[in-house]
């Protein structure tokens, strides 16, 4: 997913060629943070629900990760900012809905949960005596007053988990697949003229952008068809 011209493209390695399946033109005042949910909704309504969406960091937040999960889509992308130096919610273990904490980084399970005064948040309480002797206490976000507890919302948990996840080699390797849309964006701007349109007004700009994206898709289809036609009949097929 990319830009003020919001572009979506398939990226499955088994596809003979990739196609752009979403294009939307919006003004510069529209925030990228509000784009992922309608993007998924559009694809789902057209019967093209993705399993995973790889997006630029501008589209990724804890809120969007949770909203995408509710749509049945995994939103993958890094968050801006530096890696955490202390323990965060991302180092705690939660259930898949991020509504219940299973255990802390030291392996301790909460003794109970209770709704927080903060709307939509939950408190997880730990045994005070266990926290008092914990070797991670100095770096832990658990609060210590009359009781030991930590508050969390699913969006906060998603944010913490992503900030930890994006530092791993596994995440970085998987996310490389998104680079393909950068090449597509460059092709559309430089070869299809999407960078300098000769029309003005939202309807005309949108229609022109759609035509140029369709032209790129057709070019890829024709290129693939020609490559098949040029392949000798007795040539071994690719696995």
Total-model pTM:
0.87
Distance in Å from the first CA to the final CA of the chain: 30
Q: What is the mean pLDDT of residues 20-26?
A: 90
Contact between residue 98 and residue 90 where contact means Cβ atoms under 8 Å apart: no
- The band of 95, judged by pLDDT with boundaries at 50, 70 and 90, is very high
pLDDT value at 238 more than 90 = no
pLDDT value at 3 more than 50 = no
pLDDT value at 234 more than 70 = no
Q: Give the pLDDT of residue 237.
A: 56
- The band of 156, judged by pLDDT with boundaries at 50, 70 and 90, is very high
């Amino acid at each position: 997913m990319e830009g003020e011209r919001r572009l979506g493209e398939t990226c499955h390695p088994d596809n003979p060629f990739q196609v752009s399946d979403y294009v939307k033109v919006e003004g510069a005042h529209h925030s990228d943070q509000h784009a992922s949910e309608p993007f998924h909704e559009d694809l789902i309504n057209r019967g093209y629900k993705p399993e995973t969406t790889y997006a630029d960091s501008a589209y990724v937040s804890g809120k969007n990760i949770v909203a995408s999960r509710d749509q049945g889509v995994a939103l993958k992308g890094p968050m801006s900012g530096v890696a955490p130096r202390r323990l965060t919610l991302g180092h705690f273990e939660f259930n898949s809905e991020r509504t219940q904490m299973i255990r802390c980084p030291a392996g301790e399970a909460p003794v109970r949960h209770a709704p927080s005064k903060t709307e939509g948040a939950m408190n997880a309480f730990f045994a005070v005596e266990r926290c008092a002797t914990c070797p991670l206490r100095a770096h832990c976000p658990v609060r210590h007053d009359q009781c030991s507890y930590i508050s969390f919302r699913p969006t906060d948990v998603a944010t913490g988990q992503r900030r930890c996840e994006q530092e791993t080699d596994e995440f970085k390797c998987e996310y490389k697949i998104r680079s393909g849309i950068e090449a597509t964006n460059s092709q559309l701007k430089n070869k299809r003229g999407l960078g300098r349109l000769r029309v003005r007004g939202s309807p005309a700009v949108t229609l022109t952008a759609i035509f140029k994206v369709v032209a790129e898709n057709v070019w890829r289809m024709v290129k693939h068809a020609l490559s098949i036609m040029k392949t000798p009949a007795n040539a071994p097929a690719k696995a």
